Structure 1
Amino acid sequence: MYLRTGQTFSDLHFSYQLGKSTICLIVREVCLTIWNVLHSECLSLPRFPEDWLKIASGFEQVANFPNCVGCLDGKHVRIVCPEKSGSLFLNYKKHFSINLLAMCDSEYRFTYIHVGSCGSDSDSTIFKNTSLYTKLHNGELNLPSAKPLPNTTEPMPYVLIGDGAFGISNKVLRPYVRSNMTHKKKIFNYRLSRARRYIESTFGIMSNKFKIFQRSINHSLPNAIKLVKTCCILHNYIRERDGYKFEDTLTIEGFQNNTNTNNISVVRSGDVLRDKFANYFVSEVGAIPWQDDSIF
């Protein structure tokens, strides 16, 4: 009830005739129990290549983006400023927040979350401090072997995709910057955005179901993190139980360079990989009929 309606403890106090401290304790313990019981079942990274292949197949079918195993993005979750935190949690939108960095599949389900970073941190900085980033660059995710894009012969690696806030590499693709845009670059950005919208929609579906995201969360920082994690778990549980519903996506959210040699080589290889995808998307075998009408 608390997560679903977004009611305050004062509202619940009058509704159930319980003390606010008692309600707070109940909410905290229930959230902790939900996380402990359902975490491994409802929200864990795919373990085997077959699991990643299933995700990639989904993105190829519904978003026309092959060899994609996940979409990355961050969401600012509004909170009341924690005590003695200064401006650490003040984000670029000029309100206090913690960051929910997440990855999803084509069924609007979270496959990875990282909750609790300061609102002032960028998505790219947060991503580099996550276990997902470490496992991705250490080759510990058990991703499938490189596979040619449909109707081609050159093996291409499986990748994650994100927006311009993420650094490009041979593991993560982002859009071309919006300057000197050629036709090929515009097509690539359009095709990438078709896949990347799934993480935006996942955030929107969750915020539509759990109204607590539509106001500032007035809890201590550890409890606020527990609440966000619990909502992510329950979101996945509901997706598994109920499946896709179009009306779930109809929501309006209320709130919402390094220079060392190794990094330079990674960036260059990422640029080459992105160009290969872009060339494929404008080729006869990789183009989709409506893409030229969808760019301007």
Structure 2
Amino acid sequence: MWEEVVCKMAAVDLAFEERVSLLYLLWRAEQRRKGRPHRTLVHQVLHKREQFGEFHHLLQDLRLDDGRFQRYHLLSLAQFEELLSCVGASIARLDTNYRRSIPPAERLSICLRFLATGDSFRTIASSFRVGVSTVSQIVPQVATAIWDCLVDNFMAVPSTGDWRSIAEGFQERWNFPLCSGALNGKHVQMKAPPNSGSMFHNYKGTFSIVLLAVVDAGYRFRIIDVGGYGRTSDGGILANLTFGQALRAGTLHLPPDQPLPGGEDRGAQPHVFVADEAFPLRRELMRPFPGHLLPLEKRIFNYRLSRARLVVECAFGILSSQWRLYRRSMELRPEVAEKCVKATCVLHHFLRCLDERGAPAVRGVAPAVVEPLQGLGRVAANNSSREAVLVREKFMAHFSAEGAVSWQPKE
């Protein structure tokens, strides 16, 4: 090597001092190269992933106990395999000349474990014996694949027939006719992104992005939107959503207007969504009457609406209790947090659809019959169209007459 360098230097017209300096620099570079330890692409600890990593060591034992496997992943072994069959092709990666790729099953396991615990990427990386940067890439990639592969089958925009089926569910289980869903928002707490100012700062004094959802009578998410700034109100987020714009324009393909059960004399009424006082009153969007000292009919309406609206609150509670990612502030970029939230919502629907098709027994959910007319505090005033006010009054009269239930006051 040195002889080749000297020959090339001789062929070039260089001063003696320049040749000495160049040879000295080459000699120093060679000495540093020899004294430097050999660097590998993979850390020595990670080389033992297949012997001591959780996926290759612990999870193979958990496969023999479905209960423990489910507590680890929040999916049974059968559900895990079915989900893998849906997303496996999307998350698979090719081997290279330098290293073997992580198989789809292990990539899915890493993502589910993160969603199930909310642990840091460093903790997940240590458990599975992979790099922290590897986990930071796997989680958003797999979360995106879960959403893309499941959304069309489990959370597609409802058709007219789907809206009608949802309304039948609310009538049967919650005694609220012509209800196409319960609407509400949830603040998903996260660490403030750099240079974000007060955009993510909410009224609770924390930083968050907003999950806005429409839920059916079986606690399933039918329409969601994620990523609204925490400082924006639920009503303001709804106004900027495609769903809110379609609701105003009447392009949601809701079923045609029809009379309330037993109230044909009141005329045909629209299918509506039920929401709290944070949302505006519209023809297809019902909110409570404002005020403290309300007449009995208005109090009954507020109670019946609140009873139906509990569905979306319970759905958020089930989501948070199952996926412990929501139990702490997410230390993620907003775009990654959005992908994780969307993945948990579609997984929530996916798991409920794989369970028994009957009415699910949900732990921690308020019972269908609650004490009437309690917990109805003052709500804010709202300017609404005359048509929306008339629709609400028709529902109010229905709940106090032919639509009354046995446990509400009849004075």
Q: Same fold (TM over 0.5)?
A: yes
Residue equivalent to 2:404: 287
Residue equivalent to 2:208: 97
Quick one: which of 352, 359, 362 aligns to 1:246? 362
Residue equivalent to 2:312: 199
Looking at both structures, which has the greater relative contact order when contacts are Cα pairs under 8 Å and sequence separation is at least 6? 1
Q: Quick check: 1:162–1:172 contact (8 Å CA) kept in 2? A: yes
Quick one: which of 287, 290, 295 aligns to 1:182? 295
Q: Deviations over 1:20-48 (max 9, x none)?
A: 1111111111011111111111112212x
Residue equivalent to 2:152: 40
Instruction: Give the gaps of 5 or more residues in structure 1.
Output: 251-262
Q: Quick check: 2:118–2:330 contact (8 Å CA) kept in 1? A: no
Q: Deviations over 1:72-123 (max 9, x none)?
A: 0000000110111111101000000000000010010011001001000000
Amino acid at match of 1:93: K
Q: Quick check: 1:74–1:102 contact (8 Å CA) kept in 2? A: yes
Distance 1:13 1:69 in 2: 43
SS state at 1:32 partner = helix
Distance 1:106 1:167 in 2: 22
Q: CA RMSD of the aligned region, Å?
A: 1.7
Larger radius of gyration: 2
Q: Quick check: 1:5–1:211 contact (8 Å CA) kept in 2? A: yes
Shift of 1:248: 6.0
Quick one: which of 180, 188, 196 aligns to 1:77? 188
Residue equivalent to 1:220: 333
Residue equivalent to 2:285: 172
Identical pairs, percent: 39
Distance 1:193 1:50 in 2: 25
* TM-score using structure 2 length: 0.66
Amino acid at match of 1:286: G
SS state at 2:279 partner = coil
Distance 2:269 2:250 in 1: 16
Distance 1:183 1:218 in 2: 48
Distance 1:57 1:204 in 2: 24
Amino acid at match of 2:276: D
Distance 1:7 1:61 in 2: 40
Distance 1:149 1:225 in 2: 39
Answering whether residue 107 of structure 2 is matched by residue 24 of structure 1, we say no
Amino acid at match of 1:288: V
Residue equivalent to 1:231: 344
Amino acid at match of 1:20: V
Residue equivalent to 1:65: 176
